[in-house]
């Protein structure tokens, strides 16, 4: 359509005026929101899948994150004010607990499983070794109330924090008033843990074209892809499924064999001895390994995969033929796994305890 220039100009003027009106209207009709710090956002690393949890009902703000950080390191979350989340989830251990095969809780009680690392939580579809919690926001209720971990009630945590003057300005800033509620506590904790993204390893830089792998690391990558990548799927290095890797069935700290995912409803026999596939990121920091921390070195882990009993109950079919590597392949694989360690993450000051 050809129009005289003056008409075109008029249309342009009208169009721009209308768009101005419409945009003003949109702004004026929007409900007031807490203004978020523009530099503080959850960013999905390039090439990564969409996360399972994306803060849709829990908009990210620095204030909520900082509240979550304080809560994470607050021992008041346990019944005798002796254990915080950070006790068994240490930053230098990529938020696992170094050198502890199983966790120690209140009154020197011991748990039955190895403290799992915390990072890239938003991509997890379930939580704990057996997937008992279905959402990052309700996950902390389990350790808070567990008899052997923190032994507290969420009701009493609300009471304690309501009486703690230090929290008043923090809740005020995070939520607009000083009211402490379980939902506010849990959403703040989800912000702190959900923001823990580990995506700055050498491998990540390599994928972004900012670093190159050595020849040995390259060979290790090929071994990894051939032998490990189905369950430990990149870029999270887990497919978050539940599998049995054929670990010998030994008695745990309770004197029983841990039945894994079969310990939670529907208590199905098909879930016996299955545990969640852990990520292979940050292995340098998260030792010991496996759900009960039975292996202290990656060498031992690889020894296990080379010696699996093919008749183990519920053994994952993918491991039926074991993982048998030559000494060179093994060294190459270990070199590759080393590129998945994210030092920037374990030293990131945002996640450290506030002194």
The nearer residue to another protein, 122 or 286, going by C-beta atoms, is 122
Determine the straight-line distance between the first and last CA of the chain, rounded to whole angstroms: 69
Nearest-approach distance from CB 77 to another protein, in angstroms: 13
Q: What are phi and psi of 336, to 5 degrees?
A: -65, -45
Nearest-approach distance from CB 353 to another protein, in angstroms: 23
The nearer residue to another protein, 25 or 172, going by C-beta atoms, is 25
In sequence order, the 6+-apart residues with CB closer than 8 A to the CB of 44 are 50, 51
Nearest-approach distance from CB 169 to another protein, in angstroms: 22
Beta strand segments in 241-342, E: 242-243, 275-276
Candidates 51, 58, 87, 193; binder of another protein (CB under 8 A) is 58
Candidates 19, 46, 54, 134; binder of another protein (CB under 8 A) is 134
Q: Is the dihedral of CA 281, 286, 287, 291 positive or negative?
A: negative
Inter-residue contact 74 to 180 (CB < 8 Å) = no
In sequence order, the 6+-apart residues with CB closer than 8 A to the CB of 119 are 94, 95, 196, 197, 198, 279, 281, 282, 342, 345
The nearer residue to another protein, 187 or 202, going by C-beta atoms, is 187
Q: Sketch the per residue contact string, 238 through 277, with another protein: x for CB under 8 A, - otherwise.
A: --------------------------xxxx----------
The nearer residue to another protein, 272 or 346, going by C-beta atoms, is 272
Nearest-approach distance from CB 109 to another protein, in angstroms: 16
181 vs 62, 78, 171, 205, CA distance in Å?
A: 19, 17, 10, 41
Candidates 85, 118, 121, 136; binder of another protein (CB under 8 A) is 136
Q: Does 144 bind another protein (CB under 8 A)?
A: yes
Q: Does 190 bind another protein (CB under 8 A)?
A: yes
- The angle that helices 167-175 and 62-72 make with each other, rounded to 10 degrees, is 140
Q: What are phi and psi of 280, to 5 degrees?
A: -95, 5
The residues that touch another protein, with contacts defined as CB under 8 A, are: 10, 14, 17, 20-21, 24-25, 28-29, 53, 57-58, 132-138, 141-142, 144-146, 153-155, 158, 181-183, 186-187, 190, 264-267
């Amino acid at each position: 359509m050809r129009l005289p220039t003056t008409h075109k100009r008029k249309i342009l003027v009208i169009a721009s005026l209308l768009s101005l009106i419409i945009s003003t209207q949109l702004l004026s009709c929007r409900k007031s929101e807490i203004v978020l710090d523009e530099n503080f956002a959850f960013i999905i690393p390039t090439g990564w899948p969409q996360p399972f949890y994306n803060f849709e009902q829990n908009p990210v703000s620095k204030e909520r994150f900082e509240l979550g950080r304080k809560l994470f390191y607050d021992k008041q979350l346990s019944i005798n004010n002796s254990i915080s989340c950070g006790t068994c989830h240490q930053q230098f251990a990529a938020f696992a607990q170094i050198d502890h095969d199983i966790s120690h809780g209140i009154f020197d009680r011991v748990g039955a499983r190895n403290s799992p690392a915390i990072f890239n939580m938003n991509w997890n579809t379930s939580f704990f070794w057996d997937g008992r919690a279905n959402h990052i926001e309700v996950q902390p209720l389990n350790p808070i109330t567990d008899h052997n971990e923190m032994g507290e009630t969420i009701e009493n945590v609300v009471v304690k924090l309501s009486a703690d003057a230090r929290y008043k300005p923090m809740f005020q800033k995070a939520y607009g008033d000083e009211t402490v509620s379980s939902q506010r506590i849990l959403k703040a904790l989800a912000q702190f843990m959900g923001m823990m993204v580990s995506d700055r390893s050498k491998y990540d830089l390599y994928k972004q074209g900012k670093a190159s792998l050595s020849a040995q690391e390259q060979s290790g990558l090929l071994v990894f892809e051939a032998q490990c990548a189905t369950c430990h799927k990149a870029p999270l290095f887990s497919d978050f499924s539940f599998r049995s890797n054929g670990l010998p069935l030994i008695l745990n700290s309770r004197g029983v064999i841990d039945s894994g995912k079969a310990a939670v409803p529907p208590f199905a026999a098909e879930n016996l001895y299955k545990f969640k596939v852990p990520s292979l990121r940050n292995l340098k920091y998260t030792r010991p390994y496996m759900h009960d921390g039975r292996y202290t070195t990656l060498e031992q882990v690889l020894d296990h995969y080379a010696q699996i009993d093919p008749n183990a109950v519920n053994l994952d079919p993918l491991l039926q033929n074991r993982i048998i590597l030559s000494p060179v392949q093994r060294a190459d694989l270990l070199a590759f796994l080393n590129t998945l360690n994210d030092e920037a993450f374990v030293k990131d000051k945002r996640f450290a305890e506030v002194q």
